[in-house]
Amino acid sequence: MAAVENDVRIIKADRPPQRFARGWHCLGLADSFRDGKAHAFDAFGTRLAIFADSTGKLHVVDGYCPHMGASLADGEVKGDNLACPFHGWQWGGDGKCKAIPYATRVPPRARVKSWPTMEENKQLFVWHDVEGSLPDPAVKIPRIEELFTGEYSEWIWETVTINTNCRELIDNVADVAHFYYVHGARATYFKNTFEKHVARQEMRGKPRADQQVAGATEFGGSAVTIEELYSVATYYGPAYMIDQLSSTVNGMKVEAYLINCHVPIDHDSFILHVGLAVKKLPFLDDEMNAQIAQMYAKGNRDGFFQDVAVWKTKCRIDNPLLCEVDGPIYQLRRWYEQFYVDVADIAPDMVDKFEVEVDLAKSNQLWDVEEAANAAAQAAE
C-alpha cells in the first residue's frame, strides 16, 4: 500500500543502488583519445586511464598506479605502454607492468585492471560489471551503417556533467507528458516496448502551437519552424540510446541520428554525452549542410538542459503518483533494475516483453484548449 498520512501522499525516496549498472558505457568519440596522450576519466566511483598504443588501439586501465598511487592519466604514452608520472613504471593495455626503468625485475603481481573495450559508431565503450563478467555478445551495441557511407555529417558531440542519479535520465523513456511541459513538443502518438536489454520509445508529435515563435530559429535569413516530429529512441542496455529522428522543417524532411549516453561518476552524478549526425541534403552544399547540423545540435542541446533545470531542484521519488495518461514509469524502472542485480537474480518481469501505446486522444483535446487560451492571452498583451 502506498505511504499515506491523513490521506496525503507521502513521497518515498530510498538511496540509489550502491552499485553501478552492468553493461556497455560510452566514454566518448574514439578519435578524441588518439592524440598520443593519456586521458583521465572518472567513472564508477574510481578513475580510469585511457590511451592508444602504437597501432592506434585504445586501452582502458585502472587510473591509479598500484606502486605509490599516482594518477596514470598524468603519465606519458611510450610506445605501447603508459608510463607512470611518479616513478616511470610502464603499464601495458593488458594491465601488466612491462618495465620498471630503475629495476631489473618486475614483481609478478604488478598488474592493474584492464577494462574490456569496444569501438562502434566511431565511439569508445567500456564494459562494467561488479560480478566481473566478460561482455555478453547478446547485448552488443548495434552498428549504424549510414555513418560510414558519407551520407551523414560527422558527430557533433558535447559532454556535460549532471549532478543527480542517472535514473532521472532513464525515466524520460516513458514520461510522455514532460515533452509538452518541458520541451514544448506535443505527442500525438506514444508507444513503449521493453524486452530483454532493450527499451524503446516511439513518438510522433509537433511543437506546441502557442510556442511556435519561441521554437523558430533563424537560418539562411529566414525563420525555420519544425512542423512535425518522429522519433524512435532505443536504449541498448542501461546507458546507451540511439534515437532515429525525422522532422519536417519548412516542408523539408530532415533525418538525423541522436546519441544520448551516460556514464555514472558516482551514485549522485553522471557524465552525459550528446551526439548528433544529420543526413546531408543532396541539393545543398557542404556549408549549408553543416549549418543545418549545427542548428539541430543546438536544439537538442537546449532540450537536454531543459531537463537538467528540472533535475537540479526536483527530489528523488520511488513511488510516483501517476494518472491514466502517464507512461509506464513503473514498468520501465523494473526493466532498468535488471542491470543492478546479479545475473542470477534477474527476474522474468524485468526482461519479458512489455508493450503499451498511450491513448493521447483526450490529452490532445485538452492541449488544444490550453494552447488556444494561451494564444489568446498572448494576443491580448
CATH number for the domain that contains residue 33: 2.102.10.10
Whether 99 and 155 map to the same domain: the answer is: no
Which among 139, 169, 204 is the end of a domain?
139
Q: 327-353, pLDDT tens digit by residue?
A: 999 999 999 999 999 999 999 999 999
Cβ within 8 Å of residue 23, ≥6 positions away:
127, 128, 129, 139, 197, 237, 238, 239, 240, 339
Whether 309 and 282 map to the same domain: the answer is: yes
Whether residue 12 lies inside any domain: the answer is no
Whether 160 and 100 map to the same domain: the answer is: no
C-alpha Rg value of the chain to the nearest Å: 24
Whether 190 and 168 map to the same domain: the answer is: yes
pTM: predicted TM-score of the whole model, two decimal places? 0.93
Whether 60 and 183 map to the same domain: the answer is: no
- What's 146's DSSP letter? G
Whether 273 and 340 map to the same domain: the answer is: yes
Q: Please choose, from the candidates 114, 110, 113, 115, the residue with its C-alpha nearest in 3D space to the C-alpha of residue 68.
A: 110
Domain that holds residue 112: 23-139
Whether residue 362 lies inside any domain: the answer is yes
Long-range Cβ contact pairs of 140-147 (< 8 A, separation 24 or more): 140/24, 141/24, 141/236, 141/237, 141/240, 142/236, 142/242, 144/242, 144/257, 146/257, 146/279, 147/121, 147/122, 147/257, 147/277
CATH number of 238's domain: 3.90.380.10
Whether 151 and 130 map to the same domain: the answer is: no
- Kindly tell me the burial class for residue 28, based on how many C-beta atoms sit within 10 Å of its own C-beta (0-12, 13-18, 19 or more): buried
Question: Which amino acid is present at 105?
Answer: R
Q: How many CB atoms lie within 10 A of CB 374?
A: 14
Which among 139, 170, 185 is the end of a domain?
139
pLDDT at 224 over 70: no
Q: 11-66, pLDDT tens digit by residue?
A: 999 999 999 999 999 999 999 999 999 999 999 999 999 999 999 999 999 999 99
**Lookup: cell for 234:** 532505443
Residue range 125-146: average pLDDT?
A: 96
Which among 139, 159, 175 is the end of a domain?
139
Helical spans, DSSP H, in 14-145: none
Percentage of the chain exceeding pLDDT 90: 79
The domain total for the chain is: 2
